[in-house]
Amino acid sequence: MFSSLKRRMARTKGDESKATSREDLAGEDANQENAAGGDAEGANIPAPMAAKSKKGEATGGSGDGGAATYKQLMCERQMKIKLKGEVGPIVQSGGATGESKISQSDKVRTRRLMRELKIMKSCDAVISGVYDMDLVDDNLAEWDVWLKRFDPESNLAKDLGNLAKAHGVSDVWCRFSFPESFPFSPPFVRVLAPNIRGGFVLSGGAICMELLTPDGWSSAYTVEAIIVQVMATLVKGDARVVQRVDRPFSEPEARRAYDYLVKTHKKYGWNTPPKQDG
């Protein structure tokens, strides 16, 4: 009789332990979901964006749409500016430091970018706040561009509005890298933050635009024209801010995606072939 009673007590204790474990796990999952911004309404993120992220690429990571990455990049940028403040700006061409070592192509790039920079600093779009730009570490060959005012009816503008309310980030931060062969070759353009999906944004933040490939590029294109086209492309492709970020965009991944893009479109072109052609 005692052995039977002990067996019943052991089973009861085991059932209680399992129930407690299930409750603990449920509470832990709820805490993780709240911390990641799983509740679309509570996180001030529009429901379509939240639904997209639940189905989509990211199953973990932060739930801030990449706002933390944006703020970290901005903090690093401001720290560098502060450290250089006493020295003053020293504009680099992006090539070799010795005058005798600067190639002719680098001189051509420097002259063109100096002219572009002068135009950009006083253009109406910058003054009115449509976008803004600055050099990266005073390097003339790398520009940071902040895309600020999209079509207010676009999903991207609405996502950025919600992101601004929830996390204080209201624009798309891009980086333009100008190769030594510029303006005869296109700049490499990628999104740094927040995390964008759709809008022809590829993995790593690269952008799928014919204009930014060797076959679609013309040296007549100005930086201002490129920025306008990038903004239009993001809206046209219905770019969205992804709420849950698996990992930040990175340059190596973006360059791999861009190289694959160039290779693919060089082989198949930019137009979708008719159905009868397969």
Catalytic residues: 208
Distance CA 188, CA 207 (A): 9
Contact present, 182 and 113 (Cβ < 8 Å): yes
Cβ neighbors of 122 (< 8 A, separation 6 or more) are none
Two structure tokens written together for 123: 């253009």
Q: Please classify residue 196 by burial: count the beta carbons closer than 10 Å to its beta carbon, then call 0-12 exposed, 13-18 middle and 19+ buried.
A: buried
Two structure tokens written together for 1: 């009789």
Contact present, 120 and 223 (Cβ < 8 Å): yes
Distance CA 183, CA 162 (A): 38
User: In terms of residues, how long is the chain?
Assistant: 278
Contact present, 110 and 140 (Cβ < 8 Å): yes
Distance CA 78, CA 137 (A): 10
Contact present, 187 and 212 (Cβ < 8 Å): yes
Contact present, 204 and 250 (Cβ < 8 Å): yes
Q: What share of the chain is helix, strand, coil (3-state, %, to 5)?
A: 50, 15, 35
Residue 86 host element (H or E): none
Contact present, 120 and 126 (Cβ < 8 Å): yes
Instruction: Tell me how many degrees the CA angle 139-191-236 measures, rounded to the nearest 5.
Output: 130
